[in-house]
Structure formats: C-alpha cells, structure tokens
Structure 1
C-alpha cells in the first residue's frame, strides 16, 4: 500500500508539473505572437511614414520574437527524457539557448552603438508623430510580453535572456518616445543618437551582468555558494573517512549539481555503509543529490592511479 500511495503522489506531482510547464509554454507562445504582430505593425508604419529608424526598430523587435522562439523550442526540448546520447537529459539546451540570445543581444547593442555614432556624424530627421505613436504601441506590447515571461524568467536562465530582450526593447520604446517628443518640440536632432547610445550601454550592462552564470554552467563550474573546500572538509569529518581527494563539483544545469570524489576509507570499515552515510550528508547539508563516490583504502591505493585532475 505505501508503494501505491507514493506512486500516486509522484504521478500527481508529475501531472501538476506538466500542467505548469504547458501553461508556461502558452505564455511564451503568446509572447511570440504579440511580438510578430508588433514587427508587422512597425514595418507598415515605417513604410507609410518613410522612417528607416522605425523599420530598424521593427528588426529589433523581430529579434525579440526570434529569441522567444528559441526559448520556446529550448523549453520543449529540455523536457525530453535522458537517452543513450544524452545521459543527463536535455535540460542544458536551455543554457545553450540563453547563450545564443545573450550573444544576439551583444551584437544588437553594438549595432545600435554604431548607428548612434553614424547619426551623430550625419543627423537624420525623425518623421512626425507616427513614429512616437508606434513607439508607444511598442512600449505597451513590450511591457505585456515582459509580463508574460517575468515569472518564468525567475526559474530559467533561458527565459531570462528572452525577458531581457523585451525589457531592453521597452526601454528603447520609452527613449524613442522621449527623444521623438523633444525633437518635435525643440527640433533637437542630436537627442536621437544620444538616447540610442544610452540604450546600447544599458543592454550591454544587463548582458554582462547576467551572462556569467550561463558561462559558468557551460564551463562545468561549481555553483555559486558551494565551496569545494567546505564540502571536502565535511566529507573528511565523517566517521570512517580518512582522506578526500579528486573532488569535482559542477552544475549539470540550473537546478542540478553533481559531485564526485575519491574517499580513503579506514581499513576494515564497510565501504557501502560509509559511502551511503556520506551521500546522505551531502544531500542533507548541501542539497547534492547526484554524488559519485569512489571508495578505497591506503593499502589498495588510489583507483585509476589518481592522475592529476
């Protein structure tokens, strides 16, 4: 009976998780649709008003839609179960997608900076209220899209990268509205490239702040907050463990961390009991549920010769 109850609870939790994932997918899909509509509207507005700047902003919004499509696809792939090719599963695809989106953001910010410098050298007029009005529409849609992905961005570096795309666009829309208004009221053409440079710097600042965890995971780095020396000391303090070496700590993905180590166990001690106790301690104290421990004694020597790691 207890087994059946546990299985039922697992099935319920799995079903609830699946419903949450499906709801998240619908939000991302809605955000994609809204951004594609905005792109079409801005291109049409740019053609009608003759504004190349508005068409350029449409391309920027198209990049938002593309980033969300990448994020959406990555979410779907990440839920695939582990197989012979990917024994850890496919969850890390979200980290790869985040890196792609952050790289795109860097390129966009550099392009905006280049355009701003070119416009300082050769100022271009902003054409009428249609640009300001469409910037206002873009702001509403960007805020709505950011709202759709905000909650998801807290738990996924992949969705966070797409969220920052929209946040940067929302800031751009505000800047375009302010700049357009200043130009219409005071004929101050230089404000447009100045604001564009500010947007470029703003995007770069956000990317450089948020890309580090992505690179850390892809470089098999230890997660922030977990110190290798502290974990080694905790293992060595366990009864029956004389020494710890060859300890490696890395993130499989955002939610899972793995640890491996060689334990020198006291002669005559039960390897299985010591290893089971160390694993229980790692789970309870550090939240490390994925541990691979190689037990050995001083007489048996280090497994594999303990070549330098």
Structure 2
C-alpha cells in the first residue's frame, strides 16, 4: 500500500534505522499514478503485474525485476491473486560510494531485468529474498546485512543496464533526467519550508531557471502549479498539527501551517481530505 500520498507525490516512511522501506504485498491492490523521491524496485513472486511508466507499459513476470528512478510518474496494476516485493531506497544512503554518487538517475527512467535481457537475474532474485528475510527479522547485524545485500543488488543492476528498455534520447516527456534531482530538491525544500512565505522568485533562483521557465517545468514535473503544491504541503503539515496539538484552535493550526485566511484553509482542507479540519481531528481521536 501507499501509506502517504500527497496529490501524486508519495512520502515514504523509512525504517527508523536505515533509509529503506520493504514491502511484501499479496493483496489485490492497484497503485494510482504517483512518484516518489526514492528508487523503487519491484519484483513479482507469483503472477503477472503490469506497470505503466509515463507512456510505457511493462509486463512483469515472476522473478522479473524493475528499477524505477526517483521523480518518474508510474502506476501499478495488480492481478486478483499474487505476491510481490517492493523495495524503496533513498539515494543518499549510498552517495558516499564512488560510482554511486548519481544513483538517483542511474536507472532513469527505469531499467528492466528479465530472463531474456539481463545477466545475473537469479542472483538478484536471491538478494531480494535475503533483503526480505533480514528486513522482516531481527537477527544480529541485521542492518549490516541489509546494506551489503542492497549494495550488491545495485552493483549487479548497474553493471548490466547497458541496454535500457527505451531510448532516453528520444523521450518526449520534458521531465528530463538532468532535472530530476533538481526538482526533487525543490519539492523537498517546499515541504520543509511550507509554513514560510515562499515565492516563485526564491524557488526559481534555487532552481537556476528564469521564473517563467521554472513555472512551466515545475508544472510538468509535478502535475501541479507551484501554488497548488505549496498549499498541499501546508495541508499535510496542518494534519500533523491537528494530531499532535489537540488543544490548539483551528485558527492557530491554520496560521502555523502558513495560511493567512481561515476560510481558504478550511476550503482547501476539505477539498483535499473530504472532511473539515475539525472532523479530521475527531476521526484521529477515535482511532
């Protein structure tokens, strides 16, 4: 399941000791179109899954392994019965290793490993099994073993990605790989400073683009205008405050989340969450 989805951006809740997340999923559940700031690795165990990445449709058979780069829009269609692994890795985890500094764009936009097109897939399958076993257990040196297995998986994948499944040069989508890291940083900056008075001029300067060019590229990358994305980040912040500050008034929550108008806050909150801030707080208290 996608635990936190803000619009089309997935926020990943990593393991508290290591910036990875591993899912074993056997439910009949499709994932809507989204992107995340992590490398996503999908491996079906049983039955066939379909993944749509931008304009490309990929059929995954059991044992196939699919790497999806950060910032790439995709969605997953599940069969009525089946099992799959999903591994999410935050790229900075390995950024201090020479050769992996550009891990975020190494597999852009995706890399597919099948019986026909990739070597060492059997070993990659074993490593995914090992990662699942270690992640779900509590053995000695658990995180050292996870680090070693993930690193070996990345090395094998990186050494055998010479024939990418699509011609990057001819990608029509304007989310070019050279912009991925830059706009991920911009989105993270907005999320971290959403309660402040962030303007287009400031973000355009951070990106290195002119204001008009930034506005166009940001919309193409996130499918949201800068203003819509900022407001969604503020609403996400407000939801946290509604839960952690039960004695604060809705007016205070609105102001602390960066909204100058209570009416605007209430309207946007209900539009996004299908309930009012007060209803949301009451629902959280009941859980």
User: TM over 0.5: same fold?
Assistant: no
TM-score range (shorter-chain normalised) is under 0.3
TM-score (norm 2): 0.24
The structure that is strand-richer by fraction is: 2
The structure that is helix-richer by fraction is: 1
